[in-house]
Amino acid sequence: MSSHEIPAAELAALDAHWRAANYLAVGQIYLMANPLLTEPLRPEHIKPRLLGHWG
């Protein structure tokens, strides 16, 4: 292994962290309720109008 290679375990942990961060970001942007998907996703869980920094 060269000095530029990332160990597989560290790469897997980084990938899991990245996916979790993306999941949280999408939940904050699009969902009004049920962010942990404790029940099947329904249309009423989704924000009707997305308002962000420029909206």
pTM greater than 0.75? no
| pLDDT exceeds 90 at position 3 | no
Residue 1: pLDDT band (50, 70, 90) is low
> Are 36 and 25 a contacting pair, CB within 8 Å?
no
**The pLDDT value given to residue 54:** 61
What is the per-residue pLDDT across 6-54, written as a single tens digit (0 to 9) for each?
999 999 999 999 999 999 888 888 999 888 889 999 999 999 887 766 6
**The pLDDT value given to residue 9:** 96
Q: From CA 39, how far away is CA 51, in angstroms rounded?
A: 25
**The pLDDT value given to residue 42:** 93
Q: From CA 34, how far away is CA 2, in angstroms rounded?
A: 45
> Are 45 and 31 a contacting pair, CB within 8 Å?
yes
Residue 3: alpha-carbon gap to chain centroid: 31
